[in-house]
Structure 1
Amino acid sequence: MTQVRSTPPGREQSRPGGPRWWTARRRDHLAGFLFAAPQLAGTALFVLLPLGLMFWYSLHDWNVLAGGFTWTGGENYERLAQDPALPGVLRATAAFSIGLVALNLSLALVLAILLDQKLRGTVVFRTIFFSPVAVTLVAWTIVWRFLLQDDGGVNGLLSVVGAEGPNWLRGEATAMASVIVVQVLKNVGLNMVLFLAALQGVPRELYEASTIDGAGAWTRFRRITMPMISPTILLTSIITVVGSLQVFAQIDVLTSGGPGTSTTVLVYYLYQNAFQFHDFGYGATLSVLLFAIVLVLTVIQWQMRRKWVVHED
Structure 2
Amino acid sequence: MRLSTVILPIHRWAEGQKTWRRAEDLGFHAAYTYDHLSWRSFRDGPWFGALPTLTAAATATDRLRLGTLVTSPNFRHPVTLAKDLITLDDVSGGRITLGIGAGGNGFDATALRGSDEEPWTPRERADHFDEFVPLLDRLLREPSVTQEGRFYAANEVRNIPGCVQRPRLPFAVAATGPRGLKLAARYGEAWVTTGDPKLYEAGTPEQSVEAVRGQINRLGAACEEAGRDVFALDKILLTGFAPGRPLQSFDAFVDFAGTHFDLGFTEIVVHWPVPDSGFALDTELFERIATEALAQFV
TM-score (norm 2): 0.24
Between structures 1 and 2, the one with greater helix share = 1
Q: Which has the larger radius of gyration?
A: 1
TM-score (norm 1): 0.24
Between structures 1 and 2, the one with greater strand share = 2
